[in-house]
Amino acid sequence: MRRVQLLFLSAISGILLSFPWIFPGLDWVLLFAFVPLLLVDSLQFKQRKSENLSSSFLFGFVAFLIWNIFSTWWISYVSLLGMLFITSLNSLFMSSVWWLKNKVHQKFGATSGYFSLIVFWIAFEFLNHHGLLPWPWLTLGNGFANTVKIIQWYEFTGVLGGSVWILLSNILIFIAVRNLLDQAHRKFVRSIGLALSAIISPIALSSYSYFNYSEKGVMQNVVALQPNIDPYTQKFVGMSTDDQISKLISLAESKITDSTDLILAPETSWPPLLEDSLAHQSPSLLPLTEIMKRFPDVSFIVGAITQRKFRNGEQISNTARQSDDGKYFFDVFNSAVMIDRTCRVQFNHKNILVAGVEKDPFREYFSFLPDYMLDLGGINGSLASGKEPKVFDLSGTGKIGSVICFESVFGEHVRQLVMNGANYIAVLTNDGWWKDFPGVWQHFGYSKIRAIETRRSVVRSANTGISGCINQRGDVLVQTKIDVCDGVSSRIGMNNSITFYVRHGDYLGWISLFLSGMIGIYFGLPKVGKGQKKSALIRL
């Protein structure tokens, strides 16, 4: 088959992989999206040319670059160079995984190659959650965010379980297609039966779990605000701080009732605050305390940029800034701030910062890089990050895990909040940077996955984007439209139970990382006998 035809098949895989991130509801395409690319590999191995292995990297890169660009092109609305960098780098990593799979295939046979694909890919996604430049947005399991009825089993496996399911289904479907093309009809019947079993069984288990699950915990009434202040023309220029606070307070007063327990306002919705023992006396918090006088049972969580001074003798961090008068150093945080019914103020700092926007991951090596970091509203440069996930104590009635923007993409982070006692999750974000583009609903969908993994309800407040409330099954109870000033309220459960995933974390990632290391070690050992080559890897 000509190279142009192989490139066409690779492009088909890239397009199919992008469908769930472009068209909500087409996530089922992921179950066979890799098949054209697997067919490319099969055709190349049949030709037995020495240059085919290097060509497999190229064909993989074509597929993965198309997937990455089609799915996350909306990043270019803020930075075209940033979008090209992250899509190219992610595609390069994915292509390397694909090449390694073919390397194993070449040395040990097809079965070992398929096994290594699953192991290497899950290890890559796991590292993409924990690396220096984390970017787990296109984790395969995320593709099912808008079809929650078929992924209830994520409470046992986390999102990486969905990735395993997708890869296994693709491999089994491809084997069936290959048997059909080879006119091996008996093998085709067996292989298609196995593929259908692998696809249908998790769906059946999930459906049973979905329809038999009952919300757990004491119910609370929550309100999520969406002030819809444009980050480009209003939030940081064009609209005064007083006007922004006034708009947010008016919106809160229009939604609050005597039964409201919590009001949530979005990321950086409040003016900057100093973190000290007198924080509750800050003039900017007075509008909230005035509301709380009239509604004594309500608490607020708002997003704000906060500053913390370093005390005498305290070690200065590498993200510290010096005051204009040179008298002290301080750190700047992207924070969630809670003021409860007793007027106590609590702070939670964002732990997972966005590289190139909120942090410079190479600051200690390349001091000039901060000059080229993106400025998303006056908080450019390296912010300080929180040391660990922190929960808010809701005056003894429960605990809330606050998640700021990008952190909601990380299942392990939300899991840690639940392990620390969170009864439900509050997401504060500002998706207005992406206007009415797919990134907005993609981000909202990931909160549904977090709800299923942890069996925690999620209340989500976006400056503009999609705000809403999600129950413990991942169902959307209420939500706003994009680009409107609105607020939503709902009753959500404060769950205390711990899921298997919360208890054990991303164990699939750790197992895959270990197996990848074992495969790498075995790959470097002296060659075994010819009869042992194909089976030795599987025995590992």
What is the 3-class SS of 429-453, one letter each residue? ECHHHHCCCHHHHHHHHHHHHHHHH
Question: Both tokens of residue 537?
Answer: 């890897």
Which has the closest alpha carbon to 428: 336, 352, 493? 336
Coil, strand or helix: which one is 302? Answer: strand
Number of structural domains, the chain? Answer: 2
Regarding whether 438 and 513 lie in a shared domain, the answer is: no
Regarding whether 250 and 120 lie in a shared domain, the answer is: no
Q: Contact at 8 Å (CB) between 428 and 336?
A: yes
Sign of CA dihedral 240, 242, 247, 251: positive
CA–CA dist 69, 91 (Å, integer): 9
Which residues neighbour 6 within 8 Å (Cβ) at sequence distance 6 or greater? 40, 43, 44, 55, 59
Instruction: Give the number of other CB atoms < 10 A from CB of residue 340.
Output: 20
Regarding whether 161 and 37 lie in a shared domain, the answer is: yes
Q: How far is CA 484 from CA 223, 302, 407, 432, in A?
A: 16, 19, 24, 11
Regarding whether 313 and 204 lie in a shared domain, the answer is: no
Regarding whether 234 and 167 lie in a shared domain, the answer is: no
CA–CA dist 104, 121 (Å, integer): 13
Give the whole-number percent of the chain exceeding pLDDT 90: 69
For residue 370, the model assigns a pLDDT of 44
CA–CA dist 164, 122 (Å, integer): 7
AA letter at 335: S
Regarding whether 227 and 322 lie in a shared domain, the answer is: yes
Regarding whether 444 and 328 lie in a shared domain, the answer is: yes
Regarding whether 405 and 332 lie in a shared domain, the answer is: yes
User: DSSP letter at 527?
Assistant: P
Regarding whether 52 and 99 lie in a shared domain, the answer is: yes
Coil, strand or helix: which one is 211? Answer: helix
For residue 457, the model assigns a pLDDT of 98
Beta bridge partners of residue 476, listed in sequence order: 470
Q: How far is CA 270 from CA 22, 429, 487, in A?
A: 33, 12, 17
For residue 369, the model assigns a pLDDT of 41
Phi-psi bin for 435: left (phi > 0), alpha (psi -120 to 50), beta?
left
For residue 161, the model assigns a pLDDT of 98
Q: Contact at 8 Å (CB) between 453 and 499?
A: yes
Q: What angle do CA 5, 27, 159 make, to 5 degrees?
A: 110
Range of the domain at 286: 218-496
The reported pTM is 0.91
CA–CA dist 271, 229 (Å, integer): 14
Q: How many residues would you count in the chain? A: 540
Regarding whether 135 and 49 lie in a shared domain, the answer is: yes
Q: Which segments in the chain show pLDDT lower than 70?
A: 1, 48-52, 277, 279-280, 360-381, 525-540
Regarding whether 178 and 243 lie in a shared domain, the answer is: no
Regarding whether 145 and 235 lie in a shared domain, the answer is: no
Strands 399-404 and 424-429: parallel
